[in-house]
Amino acid sequence: MLVIIGWGIINRQHNIREDRKETRASIDRVKSYSYELETASIKAHMSNEITSDDATCINWKIKKLIDEIEYAALLSNEERNAHAKMLRRSITLSNLDPSSHCAVSEQDKIIRDTRTAIDDLVSAIEKTFRGRYPLAK
């Protein structure tokens, strides 16, 4: 009986560790997608010219990022939707339309808002991870 209980405890701990590893891998992908999106959008906003392909690519990167967050259940629906809205607004609300695009500087509000949105998203995901898998003491 004691062997069965011991096996059950070990199995449960193993499953928690594996779940933690899978979640961490998803977070690493989200962070990678986030930084790719940040780089692409800042480059586009700072460039002298933007094409409709550039805008489409950036919108696709946003969708890919949000889909990965949803798939891995890294945030609640409300949090995910709020961060997605903030991210889309900061990147696509102004200056991503090729017909009205104008280059901005590194200190422009669009660039600051983009960086803030990405940082807030990554921080929220890391906070959720730490709450879900607290460090052993």
Model pLDDT for residues 46-91, shown as the tens digit of each residue = 999 888 899 999 999 999 999 999 988 889 999 999 999 999 999 9
Q: Which of 4-13, 26-35, 95-104 reaches the highest mean pLDDT?
A: 26-35
Residue 121 binned pLDDT confidence (cut-offs 50, 70, 90): very high
How many whole angstroms from its chain centre is CA 50?
A: 24
Q: Where are the domains of the chain?
A: 2-88+103-132
What would be the CATH architecture of the domain defined by 2-88+103-132?
Up-down Bundle (1.20)
pLDDT at res. 134: 85
Q: Mean pLDDT of all residues in the chain? A: 91
Q: Is residue 97's pLDDT more than 90?
A: no
CA distances from 44 to 47, 63, 113, 137 (A): 5, 17, 14, 46
Tokens 């460039």, located at residue: 47
Rounded to an integer, the average pLDDT of 99-110 is 89
pLDDT at res. 136: 55
Give dist(CA 12, CA 57) in Å, integer: 42
